[in-house]
Amino acid sequence: MRRQKSLVTVLIYILLAALALVFIAPIIIVAFNSFKNKLYIMSAPFEFPNSMTFEGGNYLRGIVNSGFFGKSITSLLTGFSDAWSTAVNGLSSIGAFGRSLFITVFSVLLILLCASMCAWYINRSNSRFCRLFYYILVFSMVVPFQMVMYTMTSTVAKLSLNNPVGIIFVYLGFGAGLSVFMYSGFVKSVPIEIEEAAMIDGCNPLQTFFRVVFPVLKPITVTVAILETMWIWNDYLLPYLVLGSKFKTIPVAVQLAMQGAYGSVDWGSFMAMLVLAIIPIIIFYLFGQKYIIEGVIAGAVKG
């Protein structure tokens, strides 16, 4: 019996290793193709770079052509009198990387704050309105984005949200459904007695949430943050529809800058920019991966 279990364990590890290789292989292929001449990328995409195929200028050329890091961030501090205009116009010169970072960080922070408070209030309130609002949020998860994108684009333009600051609120709307759903499942596992004890000690609802409840939500918070960060950082369609070519994020900048006349594509620079775009999200994922399984299971099963 022990030998059979050991054999099954070995087979499972072999299967998992093969699946891991399947998922990692595209990233590896993109990485070593980023150091090859574009002619050899098409003719020999699976070969490692050598003295003949190596191209050392892909990264520099890609960064320059796509405006990856921008010109300067000092324009955020000078030359504008209105605060909103300062933020919007300043973000036009910090580069695709800076805009993607700004949009991702503040969108995720806003989603975490609003979704956690909303889920807590829904679970601690027994009103019909809260239950109806929860079901509306859950229903929004199954509505395809393609059904609302044209209406959304028109509405965003009318509300003057078609800029790097305004798109943060658009992401809040699209990300609230999944986030509230996951938070709600986790909040149900939080003992209400600790909240009652905090209120007896003199805490108001906001103090109870931020001092008692929110620290307990750390696993699901990290899980939601990782999922939303991966979505927003890699998103192409929503920034393209809302921001256009004026405020390019990394996916939009790479797609527009690497395509030349008559449909020609600088594949070397394209691969290099993909590698630079992947690195931050991989680092973020590695730092928070230990919370993913715990948070997903708690958020989807409890209650």
Q: Which has the higher per-residue pLDDT, 303 or 222?
A: 222
Chain centroid, CA 236 distance in Å:
11
Does residue 14 form part of some domain? Answer: no
Percent above pLDDT 90 for the chain: 9
Q: What is the pTM of this model?
A: 0.75
pLDDT class of 55 with cuts at 50, 70, 90: confident
Long-range (24+ apart) CB contacts under 8 A made by 230-233 are 230/281, 230/285, 231/175, 232/103, 232/104, 232/107, 232/108, 232/171, 232/175, 233/100, 233/104, 233/277, 233/280, 233/281
Does residue 52 form part of some domain? Answer: no
Does residue 272 form part of some domain? Answer: yes
Does residue 205 form part of some domain? Answer: yes
Q: How many domains does the chain have?
A: 1
Does residue 38 form part of some domain? Answer: no
Of 31-45, 150-164, 206-220, which gets the smallest average pLDDT? 31-45
CATH of the domain at 289: 1.10.3720.10
| CB of 81 closer than 8 Å to CB of 107 | no
Of 89-93, 172-176, 182-186, 280-284, which gets the smallest average pLDDT? 89-93
* pLDDT above 70 for 91: no
Does residue 196 form part of some domain? Answer: yes
Does residue 20 form part of some domain? Answer: no
Residue-number span of the structural domain to which 113 is assigned: 65-301
pLDDT class of 68 with cuts at 50, 70, 90: low
Does residue 171 form part of some domain? Answer: yes
* pLDDT above 70 for 224: yes
Over residues 123-169, the pLDDT tens digits come to: 888 788 888 988 888 888 888 888 888 888 888 888 888 888 889 99
